[in-house]
Chain A
Amino acid sequence: DIVMTQSPDSLAVSLGGRATINCKSSQSILSSSNNKNYLAWYQHKPGQPPNLLISWASTRESGVPDRFSGSGSGTDFTLTISSLQAEDVAVYYCQQYYGAPLTFGGGTKVEIK
């Protein structure tokens, strides 16, 4: 199974500040056939369902603010919130879809400092 490890477990950022979340996979999730990384990022707020932010490691979903960006390749990935807003308080998860079983990182809780 591919293990996804996120860091940090939590972080507090000032409004307007930058939040950086790291995600590492136990094996490469870059496909040699299409040169795509099989990684998604989700935002999960209390009492709401998870919300897909980014797929293919860096493709932002329609309607997702451009302050959210994803980067990385192979085994190391990053989600960046460039200017944190109050509505961004949530837990963020990475998830690989390279192969079954699909696996999530442990989550990173983002709060306002």
Chain B
Amino acid sequence: EVQLVESGGGLAQPGGSLRLTCAASGFPFSDYWMTWVRQAPGKGLEWVANIKDDASEKHYVDPVKGRFSISRDNSKNSLYLQMNSLRAEDTAVYYCARGFGWIWDFWGHGTLVTVSS
């Protein structure tokens, strides 16, 4: 059974940091692109970043460039999102998803990140 389980969310202060983890199982993790997508309260979906199966290619949405870093450890079937210099507007549910190319065919249930003083 395919599973993606996000963790690491919580409350952070503006300017602070958090590291999200997505634990994958039930499929050959190292064969897939992976992505982070977020949903701010009351808003729509926003793509954040993605990473190629071998980590040789990464892409970011402009508002997070220079602050967020996507990475993966294929030996641990894990995807990460290091979030630094957090802002109130980063408050959202963060989903990880696996990709057939850039078609996101399976999603985790998400982890809530709240940035507030």
A residues near B (Cβ < 8 Å) are: 1, 38, 40, 42, 44, 48-52, 55, 61, 91, 93, 95, 97, 100-107
A-B CB contacts (within 8 Å), total count: 57
Whether B105 and A97, one on each chain, are in contact in the complex, defined by CB atoms closer than 8 angstroms, is no
* Chain B facing A: main interface SS: strand
Interface residues of B in 11-64 (CB under 8 A from A): 35, 37, 44-47, 50, 59-62
Minimum CB–CB distance from A50 to chain B (whole Å) comes to 5
Whether B105 and A102, one on each chain, are in contact in the complex, defined by CB atoms closer than 8 angstroms, is no
Minimum CB–CB distance from B96 to chain A (whole Å) comes to 9
Which residues in B have their C-beta under 8 angstroms from that of A38? Answer: 102
> Is B80 an interface position by the 8 A CB rule?
no
* Chain A facing B: main interface SS: loop
A102's partner among B44, B47, B95, B110 (CB-CB below 8 A) is B47
Which A-chain residue is minimally distant from B102 (CB atoms)?
A97
Please judge, given known A-B contacts A40-B103, A97-B101, A100-B59, whether A49 and B95 are in contact too, CB under 8 Å: yes
Number of interface residues of B (CB under 8 A): 23
Which residues in A have their C-beta under 8 angstroms from that of B9? Answer: none
CA distance A1 to B95 in the complex (A): 22
> Is B109 an interface position by the 8 A CB rule?
yes
Which residues in A have their C-beta under 8 angstroms from that of B47? Answer: 95, 101-104
Whether A101 and B59, one on each chain, are in contact in the complex, defined by CB atoms closer than 8 angstroms, is yes
Additional 9 contacts, C-beta under 8 A, given A103-B47, A104-B44: A40-B103, A49-B107, A49-B110, A52-B104, A52-B105, A97-B101, A97-B103, A101-B60, A102-B50
